[in-house]
A and B are shown apart, each in its own frame.
Chain A
Amino acid sequence: MSRTRTPSVAGWFIGDGDDFRLLGTRCSSCATVFFPREDVHCRNPYCTGGPLEEISLSRKGRIWSYTDSHYRPPSPYVSNPELPWEPYALIAVELAAERIVVLGQAAPGVTVADLTVGMEVEVVPGVLHEDAETTWTTWHWRPTGVRA
């Protein structure tokens, strides 16, 4: 049985494997970058605004901070209450070129014990959850050099 792979949120990421990228937008007037994407109007108060164009964000960044989640998050997070809760790590990553910090779940198997502030990580495709018909995809952060 094969499930349809569907992004958990539309328009935030694209591609597979090494071609996987987070998608943002950039103001054509002031070059401010937005993630999550801003498609309506530039939010830089010093900018009169221009068309916003889609861009791929840098694949690699450095850890700004990290933590984990020892208790099951409430809905709308989707998890199976029948299964015991497994803590997972969350990583906030600084992207140097974009001068932005982006939060994401760590790749499966990466724990806080594996992480330090300043460590290099890369964005990789991941699975948020699955139901009968659909594999809901997302982005994960993974220390560079670690293969799943």
Chain B
Amino acid sequence: MTKDVAVLGAGMHPWGKWGRSFVEYGTAAAREALADAGLDWRDIGSIVGADTVRGGYPGYVAGATFAKALGWQGARVASVYAACASGAQAIAAARAQILAGLADVALVVGADAAPKGFFRPAGGERPDDPDWLRFRLLGATNPTYFGLYARRRMAVHGDTPEDFALVKVKNAAMGALNPYARYRKRVTAEEVAASAVVADPLRLLDICATSDGGAALVLSSMDFAQRHGVARPVRIRAVSTVTPRFPNTVLDLPDIATDSAAAVAADSESFRASIARAAYEEAGIGPEDLSLAEVYDLSTAMELQWYEDLGLCGEGEGAKLVREGATAPGGRIPVNSSGGLASFGEAVPAQAIAQVCELTWQLRGAAGDRQIAGARVGISANQGLFGHGSSVVAVR
């Protein structure tokens, strides 16, 4: 088991479609996290930026871009790109520096200004890029993959569109209580059912939107936290960023086909489940220890999948869990108390950081109207393009 790092500060820029630069969102989130930590930017020994990839240089090399906007002060700098896990890999990089003694206190920032409509690959004719190929040859957008997963759940586990809608209803109710969320209205199951089909069987309200947004964390060594007068900080105990194992037999974004299991049998554990298991093992905890979870609800059906991959229930029992209210506030294991991506939308490099912001506020008992009573242990989980995924365990 590795040592803990302290979360001294958390901050966000409200999510929405604001039409401004990602630099502005990230810098605002960073300033808020620094204020929350009670630290000056000049106290920060290292800054790690989570990159976005649109518009030329990756996020204009995000770490240095945020450092410049905050005012050059000589900090160690790094930038990471890992699709939806970018934020978690930024946290992992900062944590590794702190645990290695290379920095006492680090700032982690992710922000994005998302395009309108579907995510799409960068321009040009690039038939060596699987992401380009799936659009050119199949017109396979992200929601079409979510539709495939949802239909598969219906066929294998007997889930229904009504089960999926329950996830949206739950998450929208929590998002309505979150001042940083883009969508702050409750949604009914009837409204989900009445929304337009996007990718059968999923409808508009089953699928998360794209958004602008930013999130930031100030992390430090436990010694620094003590010296800074924070006796019992929220602590990050594990960061999992594992890759899949061959053969990956679940069709994954952005691929057109799975690996073949003809020569090597597939492991019984899915990629998503392995992401969570690595976090549990590093933290020395299990699903029974959790107070709450923040998972990647790119679609409503995908949240049900995460229940199973996190071990909150057995395989195929995700829909039962949401029907019973176990994942709602007051339930056995509340999921997406922030409102989730259903309420925030996707701002890719910020998302995994935003999940840890929510865990931090919940574990501090500072989540206001959406507080989960007595929260002690939280987990976040996500999965993104090109074999990336992450999971973070935070404790109080």
Which of B140, B148, B259, B262 meets A66, CB within 8 Å?
B148
For A65, give its contact among B134, B151, B197, B261 (CB under 8 Å): B151
Evaluate contact between B148 and A92: CB separation under 8 angstroms. Answer: yes
A33 CA / B260 CA spacing, docked (Å): 6
Q: Which of B33-41, B73-81, B173-181, B249-257 has 4 or more CB atoms under 8 Å from chain A? A: B249-257
Whether A103 pairs with B138 at a CB distance below 8 angstroms is yes
B365 at the interface (CB under 8 A from A): no
* Partner pick for B261 among A34, A66, A99, CB 8 A cutoff: A99
Q: How far, in angstroms, from A99 to B264 measured CA to CA in the complex?
A: 10
> Within the assembled complex, what's the spacing in Å between the Cα atoms of A99 and B88?
33
Tell me the residues in window 107-131 of chain A with beta carbons closer than 8 Å to chain B beta carbons. Answer: 112, 116-118, 128
Contact between chains at B196 and A70 (CB < 8 Å): yes
* Binary contact readout A79-107 vs B (1 if CB under 8 angstroms, 0 otherwise): 10000000010101000011111111100
Comparing B93-101, B116-124, B339-347, the segment that makes contact with chain A is: B116-124
Contact indicator A98/B260 (Cβ below 8 Å): yes
A69, B139: Cβ atoms closer than 8 Å: yes
Return chain A residues, CB-CB under 8 Å to B258.
100-101
List B residues 89-134 near A (Cβ within 8 Å). Answer: 117-118, 120-121, 123, 125, 127, 130, 132-134
A8: CB under 8 A from chain B?
yes
A8 touches B136 (CB 8 A): yes
Find residues 62-80 in chain A having any chain B CB closer than 8 Å to their own CB: 64-71, 73-79
Minimum CB distance partner of A113 in chain B: B200
Q: Flag whether B155 is at the interface (Cβ < 8 A).
A: yes
The CA of A83 and the CA of B144, in the complex, are separated in Å by 21
Does A76 lie within 8 Å of B136, measured CB to CB?
Answer: yes
Contacting residues of chain A (46-61) with chain B, CB-CB under 8 angstroms? 46-47
Contact of B137 among A66, A100, A128 (CB under 8 A): A128
Contact count band on A: 35 or more
A9 contacts chain B at the CB level, 8 A cutoff: yes
Min Cβ gap B202→A in Å is: 8
User: Is B199's beta carbon under 8 Å from chain A?
Assistant: yes
Closest Cβ–Cβ distance, residue B303 to chain A (whole Å): 18
Q: Which of B127, B141, B249, B261 contacts A73 (CB 8 A)?
A: B141
Of the residues B118, B130, B263, contact of A44 by C-beta under 8 Å:
B263
Query: How far is B135's CA from A74's CA once the two chains are assembled, in angstroms?
Result: 8
A17 at the interface (CB under 8 A from B): no
Q: Are A103 and B198 in contact (CB under 8 A)?
A: no
Q: In the complex the two chains form, what is the Cα distance from A135 to B110 in whole Å?
A: 44
Q: Which residues from A are CB-within-8-Å of B259?
A: 32, 43, 100
* Distance (whole angstroms) from the CB of A89 to the closest CB of chain B: 8
Given A66-B151, A70-B199, A76-B136, CB of A30 within 8 Å of CB of B263: yes
Determine which residue in A76, A99, A104 has the highest number of CB atoms from chain B within 10 A of its CB, and name it: A76
Determine how close the nearest CB of chain A comes to the CB of B248; give it in whole angstroms. Answer: 10
CB pair B196–A100 under 8 Å, yes or no, is no
Q: Given that A34-B260, A74-B117 are known contacts, is A118 also in contact with B155, CB under 8 Å in the complex?
A: yes
Residue-wise interface mask of B (178-202) relative to A, using a CB-CB cutoff of 8 A (1 in contact, 0 not): 0000000000000000001111111
The smallest beta-carbon distance between A119 and chain B, in angstroms, is 10
Question: Of A66, A78, A101, A117, which is within 8 A of B257 by CB?
Answer: A101
User: Which residue in chain B gives the minimum CB-CB distance to A101?
Assistant: B258
Partner of B251, one of A35, A46, A47, A101: A101
Instruction: Determine whether A45 belongs to the interface, using a CB cutoff of 8 Å to chain B.
Output: yes
Q: Are A105 and B138 in contact (CB under 8 A)?
A: yes
**Interface presence of B72 (CB below 8 A):** no
Q: Which residues of A contact B256 (CB under 8 A)?
A: 35-36, 102-104
A-B contact list, 26 entries, CB within 8 Å: A8-B136, A9-B137, A32-B262, A44-B264, A64-B148, A64-B152, A65-B148, A66-B148, A66-B200, A67-B151, A67-B199, A68-B200, A69-B199, A70-B197, A74-B141, A75-B120, A75-B135, A76-B120, A76-B125, A77-B139, A79-B139, A90-B140, A101-B257, A103-B140, A103-B251, A112-B200
Other A-B contacts than A66-B151, A75-B120, 14 sampled, CB-CB below 8 A, are A46-B246, A67-B151, A67-B201, A73-B118, A73-B135, A73-B140, A77-B135, A90-B139, A90-B140, A98-B260, A98-B262, A100-B261, A101-B251, A103-B134
- Residues on A lying within 8 angstroms of B by beta carbon are 8-9, 27, 30-36, 43-47, 64-71, 73-79, 88, 90, 92, 97-105, 112, 116-118, 128, 138
